[in-house]
Amino acid sequence: MKTEVELANRLGQQKFRLLYSDTDIEQRIEILAQEINRDFAKAEPLVIIGVLKQSFIFIADLVRKLKMPIHIAFMGASSYSKTQSTGIVNITQGLASDIAGKDVLLVEDIIDSGTTMKALLKFLADHKPTRLKICSLFVKPSKMKDFATTIDYVGFVLDDVFVVSYGLDYDQKFRELAHVIELLDLD
């Protein structure tokens, strides 16, 4: 209850619904990290490719629970304007390091239609990693029409809702909030 009051103070007139508390997120990431630690125990190193900028908090929390040596690289991709995917993906930042022959984990904040992920996978496959797995904090299966790729590590499965906080924004707002909320009555 205290959490909801704090959020209401912060959000003012904006209607919202609390979906996952900071504790829910932490517990879920602990389980994801255990799975990744098991699957990539022998990686030396595991190259984590984070997709900016929404995944920055997730990556920071996830990597601190990993046990193998890691390298980190970041990519940028954009297809969204406010709350709608435009369907066209721009790779705004490519790869600075060589991933050929390496174990790679691509870390996303959210997979909605899958358009962005499809473009990233195509880009990365051309760079010939030995193993490429995908981790996303959120997925929206009902929106992934023609995207059949298995997401190896999924934090939370969402309905067709628009979520913010924990790195995810609405028009650059709300990234810093610790509890994941659905924004309601958006135009």
Among 32, 54, 62, 181, binds ligand 5GP (CB under 6 A): 54
Contact 39, 133 (CB under 8 A): yes
| Minimum separation from the CB atom of position 100 to ligand 5GP (A) | 25
Residues 74-103 that bind ligand 5GP (CB under 6 A): 79-80, 85
Residues in contact with Mg ion, shown as a per-residue x/- string from 107 to 126 under the rule CB under 5 A: --x-----------------
From the list 91, 102, 28, the residue with the least C-alpha distance to 19 is: 28
- The DSSP bridge partners found for residue 107 are 50, 135
| C-alpha 122: how far from chain center | 18
**Maximum distance among all Cα pairs of the chain, rounded to whole angstroms:** 51
Q: Is 54 in the site for Mg ion (CB under 5 A)?
A: yes
- Among the listed ranges 14-22, 58-66, 97-105, 115-123, the one in contact with ligand 5GP (CB under 6 A) is 115-123
Contact 116, 138 (CB under 8 A): no
By annotation, the residues acting in catalysis are 112
- Residue 112 near ligand 5GP by CB under 6 A: yes
